[in-house]
Amino acid sequence: MVAAALTGSLCGLSGLLITRLGLTTICFTIAHAALAGATLGLVLSIEPIAVALVFAIVIAALLSVLMTMLRVPVDLISMSFFSLYTALALLFIYLTPGTAMATQVLSTVLWGSVLAMTYEYITYIAILLIAYITYLVLYMDRVLMVLFDLKLAEAEGLDTRSVLMTLLLLSSFVISVSLKLTGGFLVFTIFYGPALATLNLNVRSVRKMLATSPLIGAMCSIAGVIVSYVLDLPVGCCIVLSMCTVVAATSLRRLIEVVRKAAPMITRFR
Amino acid sequence: MSYSMFSMFKVPPIALNREYAVELCNVSTTYFGSRTPAIRNVNLRIRYGEFILITGPNGAGKTTLLETILGLLTPSSGTVKVFGHDVSKRAKLIRRYCSYVPQDFMKEPYEVFTVYEVIKQGLVTCHYRPKDVDKEIREVSKLLGIEDLLTRPIGSLSGGQQQRVFIARALIRRPYLLLLDEPFSNLDRDSRTELAEVLSKLCTDSGTTIVMVSHDLSTIPRACTRVVSMINGSIVSISEVK
């Protein structure tokens, strides 16, 4: 449950920043690169998360350089790499020794498992969370500047490339460590769900958003673990379902709010 | 209120060429994927403390020229110097002594940054005393008539109000070079006159070099010394303002 809370808050925080920066597809690609790395780790009998981390960091660095140098749409580059890494992941699964879909380790990488959460692993996640928060506290003004307007920040002499690169590298770490809990195919919901729920809640301050999103991520992850334990279901799926429930509820709330605001206008129009 | 109130900031530690603020020598800039340069063979020298107005029809290359001066766009040929420093080599450092008000500033209605936060962000890359920040923000916002909007999210403001916020953000940096891209585009007539006076005062009192892009010549600030006309990426005339 501690691992779920830490991973959920990390994903919530990272997902919000990435969404605000408009780098959603880049992180989508990083997640698939991490998955390809993890499956390669299985083929080579090396720690999957370590290989996933290397893949994620390399692709994050490569994409951030291409993004600034080539000046072509980020989404196009990202999606090209996404296909490549999905193909690699499937290829490595095919090459995994033994009955691939049945192996315990492979199912951990694909769907996530609470059993994979050792004390040592939880310590790594906690260190990552502390490092992430420390970076944000130290460089909050620069991060906020980039979040508000990237071009203006660059025009005012800020090294926007280093801020973007750091956030992408931190996201690579977050995605890689999340693989064991949620699995490679389900990490996106826990990554972007809290950001969407936060936007739906109409939080009117960036600092409050930065607190709300990790909180939603942590709460949904804990809820998912409890449901998984009670009903004896895969933990990754339960976390994602609990996250989707919260997203659906907040979306409904926002929809009602929008309709209520629009109602007087419709009446007047008639 | 005098603009000298911003003198509390530390003097920047780079050597500035006090003769020419901007020197463009045979500068051409071509956008990636385009064969035709957006600006071609531009030669222009802007003196330190000068107020220059760049005008021309849509697509004349005015914004490209501003972004090339700041190093946001890399020229395909020629050299750009700001305060004597080659922009291609020291862009990030030079930009710290400049302010830029872009043309495409409008923020979405859901943007949650408050006006106070947006103006404060302008100081991040400047040298400043943290204890004076609040006072400075209130003074510059008063100067631009947005003191009542400081706690409002910028997304909830009108185009004209947002434009004032961005100008306030540019001014609080106490720039040596101020680049303004269509700063009057969303303002009413009275507001234009007020802003023109603020900019003129900034130029004459603080010696700030101002390069302003505008296709509307109905409001020319009194401190403006030259009007540069551009058509199809080239400078076609430079006229003195009497």
Inspect the interface and report whether the beta carbons of A141 and B124 lie closer than 8 Å.
Answer: yes
Tokens of A173: 């770490």
The tens digit of pLDDT for each residue in A33-80 reads: 888 888 888 888 888 888 888 988 888 888 877 777 766 677 777 787
Inspect the interface and report whether the beta carbons of B92 and A157 lie closer than 8 Å.
Answer: yes
Chain position carrying tokens 């404060």: B120
Alpha carbon distance A164, A174 (integer Å) = 15
Residue B1 confidence (pLDDT): 37
- Across chain B, mean pLDDT equals 85
Q: Decide which of A246 and A232 is more confident.
A: A246
pLDDT(A96) > 80:
no
The tens digit of pLDDT for each residue in B126-180 reads: 877 778 888 889 988 988 888 899 999 998 888 888 888 999 999 998 888 999 9
* A positions 205-234 inside 8 Å of B (CB): 205-206, 209
Inspect the interface and report whether the beta carbons of B117 and A204 lie closer than 8 Å.
Answer: no
Inspect the interface and report whether the beta carbons of B102 and A151 lie closer than 8 Å.
Answer: yes
Average pLDDT over residues A5-29: 85
C-alpha to C-alpha distances, B56 to B23, B79, B184, nearest whole angstrom:
20, 23, 15
B124 touches chain A (CB under 8 A): yes
Residue A98 confidence (pLDDT): 66
Q: Residue B37: which of B8, B7, B78 has the closest Cα?
A: B78
pLDDT(A220) > 80:
yes
Alpha carbon distance B184, A123 (integer Å) = 56
- Across chain A, mean pLDDT equals 82
Inspect the interface and report whether the beta carbons of B112 and A209 lie closer than 8 Å.
Answer: yes
The tens digit of pLDDT for each residue in B55-96 reads: 988 888 899 999 999 998 889 999 999 988 888 888 888 888
Other residues' Cβ atoms within 10 Å of the Cβ of residue A248: 12
The tens digit of pLDDT for each residue in B14-48 reads: 677 678 889 999 999 888 778 888 889 999 999 98
C-alpha to C-alpha distances, A91 to A43, A87, A88, A105, A160, nearest whole angstrom:
10, 6, 5, 16, 37
* Nearest Cα residue in chain B from A69: B32
User: By three-state DSSP, how is residue B175 classified?
Assistant: coil
Minimal C-alpha gap between B236 and chain A (Å): 27
Least-confidence region, from A114-128, A246-260, B98-112, B173-187: A114-128
Tokens of B220: 């020319």
DSSP alpha helix (H) spans, chain A: 2-21, 24-44, 48-70, 74-95, 104-111, 119-138, 140-148, 150-155, 160-182, 187-200, 206-231, 235-269
Domain architecture of chain B: domains with CATH: 15-97+175-242 (3.40.50.300), 106-174 (no CATH)
